[in-house]
Structure 1
Amino acid sequence: MRKSYNKLLSALPNSVFQRLSFHLEEVSLSQGQTIHKSGELITDVYFPRQASVSLVLILSDKSTTEVGLVGNEGMAGLPVILGGKQTNSDSIVQIAGTAMKLPSQILQEEFQRGEELQKLLLLYTQAQLSQIAQIAACQSHHVIEQRLARWLLLVRDCTNKNTLPLTQKLISMMLGVRRASVTEAAISLQQAGIITYSRGQIVIVNSQLLETFACECYGKIKEEYSRLLNPRL
């Protein structure tokens, strides 16, 4: 049963997992659901299983951009262990699925023990900060086709799925571009035989070509996660 859990939870020693298991609750997350809202107290953290969650900045003019992504390798709600208790971004479900929900207070208590959970979450925090920095560079320096390819690869890794229920509206919201730009980029990838694209769904048919098409940022993000977490996960 542990193997089917989120990778962070699966990596915990049995003693730690058992303490948390009394408080863990499996929940279903729907696409577009906001699980953490900017400026509000984070009462629960989420360990995605099949779901993926985007960390999204919403500006005063209502424009949006994704600054981070959480899937089955991580946890949504990192400010809880850093002492901030709130976040300046919204955590929005990108791909529907299940997650394990844990009260923030329980996580804080376990984190303060200074045992394996603390070590694991600190490494994950470093990996997440590296991802956020790389995405910021990507948004500024790479063309939309490369950014879309990078983003699709990250979503695939977060969910272990090649068929992704994604709309133009959602993708444009995550990448901070116009819907027309998403359409043009998706058509380019489809014509190259990398994806099939229909209304509300993208299927990755050639992952190797998609990685070739993507900018260097996907590889950098993947390398840093592997360096920090693979020995433990």
Structure 2
Amino acid sequence: MPWDNHFLNSLDPKDMARLEPGLSEVGMERNQLLDEAGRPVSFVYLPRDCILSVLTVMEDGGLVESRTIGREGGYGLLHAIGSPISYERTICQVGGRAWRATLPALREAADASAALREAIVRHAQASLLQAAQSTACNSLHRAEQRLCRWLLLTQDRLGGDILPLTQEHLAIMLGVQRTTVTAVASQLQARGLIAYSRGRIRVLDRPALEHCACECYAAIQRGVAMMLSDRLRH
């Protein structure tokens, strides 16, 4: 069956047979809280058409997004074979569907398969690469470039032109005020790259978005492809 998730699709039939009995499909709603910093992680989530947002929470309540997770990977993979404690807040940014498994179920399957453990580590590394690149991007590049990068990554994960992103989420993603989001989105709309309305963005000119984005979008794409490439297994 089509799993609509890169991690699950990458597994060989024996590993999938070990994991499949513990998988269930769940609906995910926008802003649904999955885990909180300092608490044990209970489930692994493998998005099909939803997007998860991993947030660092500051003492004053401020939020900064470190990475997003879509159908290219999953949340909780590394927790299943390491520490189960979450050090970030994880919410559903774009609602949809996901596969869910308990940490013990994935850990048991991973204990029986070196190939499955390798797949877990590879996909976790790909997610951390995105976080590292995003940290550099937020420090060095303009808000307009960063917004274009996030729009491109979001479109890649959803596979359509309509991106259900609110001003609140965009501000957290970029680490800026909502007024900055409004100003930057309005500029992109005036140039014909996007159509922007409350809670929704339509991508009108993807090549122009790619041209406007900073180097980080391409760097993330190259890095993830390299980490998940079968050619690097031997």
Query: Shorter chain as normaliser: what TM range?
Result: over 0.9
State the Cα deviation string for residues 102-143 of structure 1 (Å, max 9, x = none).
010011112222432111111112212211110000110111
Q: In structure 2, what is the equivalent of residue 55 of structure 1? A: 54
Per the TM alignment, residue 174 of structure 1 is displaced from its structure 2 partner at its CA by 2.2
On the 8 A contact 1:195/1:202 being kept in 2, the answer is yes
Q: Name the SS of the counterpart of 1:147 in structure 2.
A: helix
Q: In structure 1, what is the equivalent of residue 76 of structure 2? A: 77
Q: In structure 2, what is the equivalent of residue 125 of structure 1? A: 124
2:158 is the alignment partner of 1:159? yes
In 2, Cα distance between the equivalents of 1:147 and 1:78? 27
Letter in 1 for 2:180: S
On the 8 A contact 1:79/1:87 being kept in 2, the answer is no
Q: In structure 1, what is the equivalent of residue 223 of structure 2? A: 224
Letter in 2 for 1:90: R
Q: In structure 2, what is the equivalent of residue 44 of structure 1? A: 43
> Which stretch of the first structure deviates more once superposed, 158-167 or 220-229?
158-167
State the Cα deviation string for residues 128-175 of structure 1 (Å, max 9, x = none).
221111000011011110011011111112222220111111211222
Normalization by structure 1: what TM-score? Answer: 0.95
- Give the CA RMSD over aligned residues: 1.4
2:134 is the alignment partner of 1:135? yes
On the 8 A contact 2:188/2:194 being kept in 1, the answer is yes
Letter in 1 for 2:124: T
Per the TM alignment, residue 21 of structure 1 is displaced from its structure 2 partner at its CA by 1.2
State the Cα deviation string for residues 171-227 of structure 1 (Å, max 9, x = none).
112222100000011011111211110111101111111111111111100001111
Letter in 2 for 1:109: E
Q: In structure 1, what is the equivalent of residue 27 of structure 2? A: 28
Equivalences for residues 54-203 of structure 1 within 5 A: 54-203=53-202
In 1, Cα distance between the equivalents of 2:230 and 2:51? 23
Q: In structure 2, what is the equivalent of residue 16 of structure 1? A: 15
Q: Name the SS of the counterpart of 1:65 in structure 2.
A: strand
Q: Name the SS of the counterpart of 1:22 in structure 2.
A: helix
In 1, Cα distance between the equivalents of 2:175 and 2:81? 28
In 2, Cα distance between the equivalents of 1:203 and 1:231? 34
In 2, Cα distance between the equivalents of 1:201 and 1:227? 32
> Which stretch of the first structure deviates more once superposed, 133-142 or 152-161?
152-161
In 2, Cα distance between the equivalents of 1:199 and 1:212? 25
Per the TM alignment, residue 82 of structure 1 is displaced from its structure 2 partner at its CA by 4.6
In 2, Cα distance between the equivalents of 1:22 and 1:62? 39
In 2, Cα distance between the equivalents of 1:231 and 1:185? 39
Per the TM alignment, residue 81 of structure 1 is displaced from its structure 2 partner at its CA by 3.5
Per the TM alignment, residue 30 of structure 1 is displaced from its structure 2 partner at its CA by 0.5
Unaligned runs of 5+ in 2: none
Letter in 2 for 1:80: H
Percent identity (aligned): 36
Letter in 2 for 1:53: L
Question: For this pair of structures, how many residues does the alignment match?
Answer: 231
